[in-house]
Amino acid sequence: MITVGVEEEYLLVDPATGLPAPLVEEVRRTAGLGPLTEDDEVQHELLQAQIEVATPVCATLDEVGGHLLRLRHAVASAAEANGCRIAATGAAPLRGPVPVPVTPTQRYLKMEGEARQLVDEQLICGMHVHVAIPDPGMGVAVINRIRGWLPTLLAMSANSPLWDGRDTGFASWRTIIFGRWPVTGPPPFFDGFDEYERRLESLVASGVMPDRGQVYWQARLSERYPTIEVRCLDVQLRPDEAVMFAGLVRALVATTITEEKAGTPPDVSRPELLQAGTWYAARHGLNSTLVDPRGHPHSSGDVLGSLLHHITPALEDAGDLREVSALVHRLLQEGTPADRQRRALTEGGLPGLIRLITETTTSD
C-alpha cells in the first residue's frame, strides 16, 4: 500500500470580528501541553496568525481522517483557550489595518526583508498531500504525468473567494496571491531526475531565491521526505474533504506509476495551456468548464468523471473507490467550499461566514 500524509494550514481569527489573531506561539504552546499531539505535528508558519498541522505517515484513508480530526480538535481547543478560533479558509476574508507580524525565524525575516508586501499579504492557507514514491526518478515521472490534472484538483478544492471583506470574483484567491512569488504554478515537464536537479540548482544559483524550498511548484519532490508533494489545494472546510483529496492524489500517483512501468506515453500538457487552465480553475472553481490534461475544455462534471475513470483501478486496489466517489459526487451537488462561503455570507452576513469557516473545521 502506498503511504500518504497531509499537511494543513489554518488561520487564527478573532471569533467576534473575524480578523487575524497573531497568537500562534500561545496556541502551539497550549496544544503541545496535552496528550493529543506530538511536537512536530503542530508547527508555526510564515505569519503569526497561521498554524500548520501534519499527520503521521498513513496507510489508509481512515488513518488520514482520524489524525486530521485529532489534530483539528487539538488545535481548535488550544485556540479557544487563547481567545481565538482556527479558520479553515484558503484566504483571510478580512484583514486589519496593521500587518500581522512575521514569525521571527531567520528564514521568514529574510523573506520579509526581500518581499515585504508579498509577506504581509500571505494570509493564505493551503493543503499539501505527500505520497510515497519508490525513488526520485519515478517521482519526476509522476510529476510529469499528473501535472495536467492539477487545475482540476485546484478547481475542486477552491476555498478562498473573499479578501478584504469583498468577493474577489475568484474561487481560489489564494492561488492568485501565492502566484506572485518567483517560481510558482504548474511544474514544467522534465527529461528525468537529472534535469529536475539541474533546474532547481540553476534557480538557486541565479540568486533569485535563497534555497530550493522557495521553488513553489504545485507538484514537486519533497526535500524532507521520500515523497511527491502536491501543493495546489486550498485548505478544506471539512476534514472528510481533505480525506477525499488524499485519496484522489494517492490514486493519481499510483496510476501514473503503473503507466510509467508499462511504458505508456504521457500526455504532455503545453505549458501555456496548463498555466491558463490553472488561472481559469482559480477563477471559476467548478462553476464553468475545466481544461482537461490534453488542453480541451469540457464541463466540470465531465472532467471530474474522467478523473475518476482514470484512477478507478487504483482506488479499487486501495479500497477507496466507494468513499472517494461518494465525496466527489457530494462536491458536485453542494459546490466547492468557495461556493459555500459565498452562500454563508449572503444568508448570514459576516457572522454566518465566521461560523462556517470556524465551526465546520472539526466536523465531517
56/349 Cα distance (integer angstroms): 37
Amino acid at 131: V
CATH label of the domain that carries residue 289: 3.30.590.20
List pLDDT tens digits, range 1-38: 899 999 999 999 999 999 999 999 999 988 874 444 55
Structure confidence by residue, pLDDT tens digits, 63-103: 999 999 999 999 999 999 999 999 999 999 999 999 999 99
pLDDT of residue 121: 96
C-alpha cell at 44: 508555526
Q: Is 251 part of any domain?
A: yes
For the chain, what percent of residues have pLDDT higher than 70? Answer: 97
pLDDT for 360 beyond 80: no
| 46 in any annotated domain | yes
Q: Tell me, yes or no, whether 17 lies in a domain.
A: yes
Specify the pLDDT at position 267: 82
Helix residue ranges per DSSP H, the chain: 24-33, 61-81, 106-114, 116-120, 136-146, 150-157, 173-178, 193-205, 239-262, 271-284, 300-318, 321-334, 337-359
Residue 364 placed within a domain: no
* 282's grid cell: 482559480
The set of cell numbers assigned to 84 is 481565538
pLDDT tens-digit map of 303-316: 999 999 999 999 99
Q: What is the pLDDT of residues 205-214, one digit of tens each?
A: 998 888 898 9
Domain count across the chain = 1
Q: Decide if 346 is inside a domain.
A: yes
Residue 80 falls inside a structural domain: yes
Q: Is 331 a domain residue?
A: yes
Residue 99 inside a domain? The answer is yes
CB atoms under 10 Å from CB of 99, counted, come to: 18
Can you tell me the mean pLDDT for 332-358? 96
Measured CA to CA, the distance from residue 253 to residue 144 in angstroms comes to 11
pLDDT recorded at residue 324 = 98
Residue linked to cell 489564494: 174
Q: Domain of residue 63: give its range.
A: 4-359
Within 115-238, where are the H helices? Answer: 116-120, 136-146, 150-157, 173-178, 193-205
